[in-house]
Structure 1
Amino acid sequence: MSLDATRLYLRLAAASLRAQMQYRASFVMWSVGQFITVGIELLGAWALFDRFGAVRGWRFAEVALLFGLVNVSFALAESFGRGFDTFSAMVKSGDFDRLLLRPRSTAFQVATGEFQFLRAGRLAVGLVMLLWAGSALSVGWTAAKLALLAGAIVGGACVFYGLLVLQATLCFWTVESLEIMNALTYGGTEAAQYPLTLYRDWFRRFFTFVVPLAFVSYIPAGALLDRPTVPALPEAARWASPLVGVAFLLVSLRIWRFGERRYQSTGS
C-alpha cells in the first residue's frame, strides 16, 4: 500500500471512529455487552481448568495467553475488515459495479467502506488476559519475546482478515456469503483459544498447514513458553510464525483479484 493510500485509509478509519462515537451510550453498551459475552466464554474455560487443574499439560494461565492472543487478533480483524464481512450485500445490490469504475483498487474500497469499532469489548477482554497471563506465567520476558508477542497479534489479525477476504471472494461466484466460512472465522476463533493437542490429528494439520490458525496463538505461545508445539516445524519457524499471517493475507488478496476478474454483474 502506497503512502498516499495509507494516509487515506487512516483518515477514513478516524472519520468512521468519530461517527460511531457520536452515540457514545450506544457505543459503550455494545462494547460492554460484547465484553460480557466474551467474558462468559472465558469463565467456561476457567471452570474446566478449575475442575481438572490441567488439560494435556496446559494450565489455565497458559490457555489465557492463547485466549488473549486470539481475541485481540480477531477484534482487530473484525474492526478493520467489516467491509469484507458485509460484502455480499454490495454484490446483491449491484453497488460493486460502481467500485470497478473508480481509480482505487476494489479491495481498498471495500476495506474502507465500513469499519466496526464496536469490537472494543472483545479487544478489552483479550488485552486483560494477555496482561494477566504475562504476569502469572514465568515467561522471562526479553525484547525478542515482546517482539514475538506483538508480531503474533499482527500476524493473527492478518490471518483472520485474510479469512474475511476469502469469505467475500466467494460472493463473486455465489453472490451470498457461504455460512461455512463462519466455521473458519468464528469457529476458528473458538478452536484457536485452546491448545491444538486437544484435537484430532487431521484437525491439527488442517489448522496448521491449510488455514494457519495455529500460527495465531498455539505456535507463538509455545515459543514464548519454551514448550514444544508442532514437532514438524523447526525452532526458527516458530519464531517466524507472524510472517505466516502476513503471507496468508497476501495470498488471500491475490485470490480476491482472481475472483474479481471473473465477476459478472448481477444486473440489478
Structure 2
Amino acid sequence: MAGNTLTVFRVLIRLSLASELQYRGNLLQSLIGGAAAQATQLLLIGVILNSFGAIGGWSASEIMLLVGLRMAGHAVYAFFFRRVIDNDRVVHTGEFDRYLLRPISPFLQLLTRQFNLQQLGDVVIAAAVLGTAVRNASIDWNVGLALFCGASVIGGGLIEASLQTLRAAAAFRLKNTDALTGTIDSLVGTYSNFPLQIFGGAASAFFTFAVPLAFIAWAPAAVLLNRGADLGFPTEIAWATPAYGPILMTFAVAIYHLESRHYSSPGS
C-alpha cells in the first residue's frame, strides 16, 4: 500500500512539475522568491546576534545550528506538503468534488495539485545554512548524531506539516481558515528560530507540550550541542524527537480524512 502511494505521489509530482515548467520564465523568479523569504529571516537573526552576541546563553554558531535545523525542516514541509494551504480554495471552489471521484487519496491529490518552483528556493537556502552551521558548531560528530540530525530535520518538517494539515481539516467545517494559516506560519517562523527558554517557563511549556514547536529545532539542537539542561524536560524526550513528526502527521492525516466527511459541495 505504501509503495503504491509513493508511486502515485511521484507520478502526480512529475505531471505537476511538467505543467509548471511550461512557463520557464517563472523558474528564476520562483527560485529567487523562495530564497529571499528564507534569507529575510536569516538577516533578522543575524542583526539580533550582531547586537547581543548571544541569545539565552547560546552562541552565534549554536543559534545558527538551531536556525539551520528549523529552515531545513521547513524546506521538507514546503517541498512535500505546502499545498495543504490550498484546502480552503479547494473546498470553496468545489475542486474537492473531483478528488472524491478519483481512486486516489483526496489528501494526496491536494498535496500534488500544483508544484510551486519557489519550494526549490527554500531547499537550496536551507541546505546552505544547515551545511554551514554543522561545520561551525562544536559537535563531536559520530554516526548516531548524524543520523539523529537527519531524522530530526524530517521530523521537524512533519511537525510543521501536521499543524497545517490540522488547520486544513478545519476548513471542511469553518470554510475559511486563512488567518489560522498565517498564524501557524508566524509561530513556526518566529519561535522555532530561538532557544525557547528565553520566552519564559510558561511559553516554553506551551510550545513544547501544547503546540510542539520545541521539537522542530530547539530540542534536536540541544541534543546535538549537549545542552539538554536548557530544555526543562528530560533529555530522553528530546532524543525521541524524530518519532514525533511521523506520529503527529499520521494523526493529522486521519483527522483530515475524518473531517472531510463534513464537506459540502458548493454545487449541491
Q: Normalised by the size of structure 1, how large is the TM-score?
A: 0.92
More divergent stretch after superposition (51-60 vs 214-223): 51-60
1:94-133 equivalences in 2 (<5 Å): 94-133=94-133
| Deviation string, structure 1 residues 145-181 (Cα, Å, up to 9, x no partner) | 1101110111011111112211211111111224123
Structure 1 distance, partners of 2:34, 2:144, is 33
Structure 2 distance, partners of 1:200, 1:159, is 22
Note the C-alpha offset of 1:87: 1.2
Q: Match for residue 68 of structure 1? A: 68
- Which residue identity lines up with residue 182 of structure 1 in the other structure? G
More divergent stretch after superposition (33-42 vs 205-214): 33-42
Note the C-alpha offset of 1:139: 0.5
**Runs of 5+ unmatched residues, structure 2:** none
Q: Which secondary structure does the structure 1 equivalent of 2:232 belong to?
A: coil
**1:232 matched to 2:233:** yes
Structure 2 distance, partners of 1:122, 1:263, is 32
After TM superposition, where is structure 1 displaced by more than 3 Å over at least 4 residues in a row? 21-25
1:30-49 equivalences in 2 (<5 Å): 30-49=30-49
Contact 1:155 1:241 in 2 (8 A): yes
Q: Match for residue 263 of structure 1? A: 263
* 1:81/1:23 CA distance change after superposition, 3 Å: same
Note the C-alpha offset of 1:93: 1.3
More divergent stretch after superposition (242-251 vs 24-33): 24-33
Structure 1 distance, partners of 2:55, 2:83, is 38
| Deviation string, structure 1 residues 29-87 (Cα, Å, up to 9, x no partner) | 22123323322321221122122211211111111111111112212212222332111
Identity of aligned residues (%): 27
Q: Which secondary structure does the structure 1 equivalent of 2:112 belong to?
A: helix
Note the C-alpha offset of 1:258: 2.1
Contact 2:77 2:160 in 1 (8 A): yes
| Deviation string, structure 1 residues 202-246 (Cα, Å, up to 9, x no partner) | 32222211221111100001000011232323x332221011111
- Which residue identity lines up with residue 253 of structure 2 in the other structure? L
Note the C-alpha offset of 1:109: 1.9
Structure 2 distance, partners of 1:29, 1:16, is 18
- Which residue identity lines up with residue 5 of structure 1 in the other structure? T
Note the C-alpha offset of 1:24: 3.6
Structure 2 distance, partners of 1:110, 1:181, is 16
Q: Match for residue 247 of structure 2? A: 247
More divergent stretch after superposition (216-225 vs 28-37): 28-37
* 1:31/1:101 CA distance change after superposition, 3 Å: same
Give the aligned length.
Answer: 267
Contact 1:79 1:117 in 2 (8 A): no
Q: Match for residue 27 of structure 1? A: 27
Q: Which secondary structure does the structure 1 equivalent of 2:36 belong to?
A: helix
Structure 1 distance, partners of 2:15, 2:95, is 22
Q: Match for residue 179 of structure 2? A: 179
Note the C-alpha offset of 1:250: 0.9
Contact 1:169 1:255 in 2 (8 A): yes
Q: Match for residue 209 of structure 1? A: 209
Q: Match for residue 79 of structure 2? A: 79
RMSD: 1.8
Contact 1:85 1:168 in 2 (8 A): yes
Structure 2 distance, partners of 1:68, 1:24, is 30
Structure 2 distance, partners of 1:203, 1:266, is 41
